[in-house]
Amino acid sequence: MRRLFASVRARAALGATLVVAVALVAAGAAVLLSLRSNLIGEAGAQAEQSARSVASELAAGTPYGELSGLDGDDGPVQILDEDKRLVAASENLEKISGTDSDQVKPQAAVARRGDDDDDDPDEHDEALEPGEIAGKSVFSNGAATIDGEAEDYRFAAVAVETQDRGRLKVYAGSPLAAEHGAVRTALSVMLIGFPLLLGVVAGVTWLVTRRALRPVEGIRREMAAITHSEDLARRVPEPDTHDEIARLASTTNETLAALETSVERQRRFVADASHELRSPIASLRTQLEVAAAHPELLDLDGAVEDTVRLQRLAADLLLLARLDAGERPGGVQVDLAGLAREEAEGRTGVTVDAEPVEVAGSRGQLGRVLANLLDNAQRHARSAVTVTVRRENGRAVVGVADDGDGVPEADRERIFERFVRLDAARSRDDGGAGLGLAIARDVAVRHGGTLTAGRGPAGGALFELRLPVA
* Among the listed residues 36, 21, 32, the one whose alpha carbon sits nearest the alpha carbon of residue 187: 32
| pLDDT > 50? residue 114 | no
**Is-contact 286 297, C-beta < 8 A?**
no
Q: Which amino acid is at 444?
A: A
Pick the CATH number of 329-468 from 3.30.1330.10, 3.40.50.9100, 3.30.565.10, 1.20.930.40: 3.30.565.10
Mean pLDDT computed over 120-139 = 75
Question: Could you tell me which residue, 102 or 123, shows the higher pLDDT?
Answer: 102
Question: Which residues pair with residue 450 across a beta bridge?
Answer: 466
pTM (2 d.p.): 0.50
Region 287-301 average pLDDT: 80
Q: Name the amino acid, one letter, at 231.
A: D
Contact between 400 and 372 (Cβ < 8 Å) = no
pLDDT of the residue at 82: 87
Residue 309 has pLDDT above 80, yes or no: no
Alpha-carbon torsion angle 299, 300, 306, 310, nearest 10: 150
Average pLDDT over residues 14-24: 89
Residue with the bigger pLDDT between 170 and 298: it is 170
pLDDT confidence band for 116 (50 / 70 / 90): very low
Give the least confident one: 239-243, 321-325, 393-397, 460-464. 321-325
pLDDT bucket at 458, cuts 50 / 70 / 90: confident
Segment 285-312 shows an average pLDDT of 80
Question: Is the pLDDT score of 464 beyond 60?
Answer: yes
pLDDT number for residue 435: 82
Kindly state the percentage of the chain with pLDDT values over 70: 92
Q: What is the pLDDT of residue 123?
A: 47
Which pLDDT score is estimated for 424?
Answer: 46
Average pLDDT over residues 228-237: 86
Distance of CA 376 to the CA centre of its chain: 52
pLDDT value at position 125?
62
Which of the 8 DSSP states describes residue 297? G
pLDDT-based confidence at residue 345 (cuts at 50, 70, 90) = very high
Half-sphere exposure of 386 (CA within 13 A, CB side): 13
Confidence of residue 74 (pLDDT cuts 50, 70, 90): confident
Residue 461 has pLDDT above 90, yes or no: yes
Is the C-alpha dihedral spanning 347, 353, 358, 361 positive or negative? Answer: negative
| Structure confidence at residue 238 (pLDDT) | 86
pLDDT reported for residue 122: 52
Q: Which whole number is the average pLDDT over 4-12?
A: 68
> What does the alpha-carbon distance between residue 111 and residue 116 come to, in Å, rounded to a whole number?
10
Name, in order, each residue with C-beta under 8 angstroms of 418's C-beta and a sequence gap of 6 or more: 268, 269, 272, 320, 434, 435, 438
List, for residues 23-68, the tens digit of each pLDDT value: 999 998 999 899 888 888 898 899 899 989 988 988 888 888 888 8
Domain-wise residue ranges, the chain: 1-114+121-212, 232-327, 329-468
Checking if the pLDDT of 423 tops 70, the result is no
Mean pLDDT, the chain, integer: 84
Instruction: Give residue 400's pLDDT.
Output: 95
Number of helical (H) and strand (E) elements in the chain, helices listed first: 9, 13
Q: Is the pLDDT of residue 323 over 60?
A: yes
Q: Is 232-327 CATH 1.10.10.10?
A: no
Amino acid found at 208 = V
pLDDT at 1: 43
Task: Select the more confidently predicted residue: 421 or 186.
Answer: 186
Count of other CB atoms within 10 angstroms of residue 178: 12
Query: Residue 115: its pLDDT value, please?
Result: 45
Which whole-number Å values give the CA distances from 157 to 1, 79, 93, 171, 373, in the listed order? 61, 9, 17, 5, 106
What CA–CA distance (Å, rounded) separates 279 from 428?
9
Burial (0-12, 13-18, 19+ Cβ within 10 Å), 113: exposed
* pLDDT band, very low/low/confident/very high, at 432 (cuts 50, 70, 90): low
Residue 156 pLDDT exceeds 50:
yes
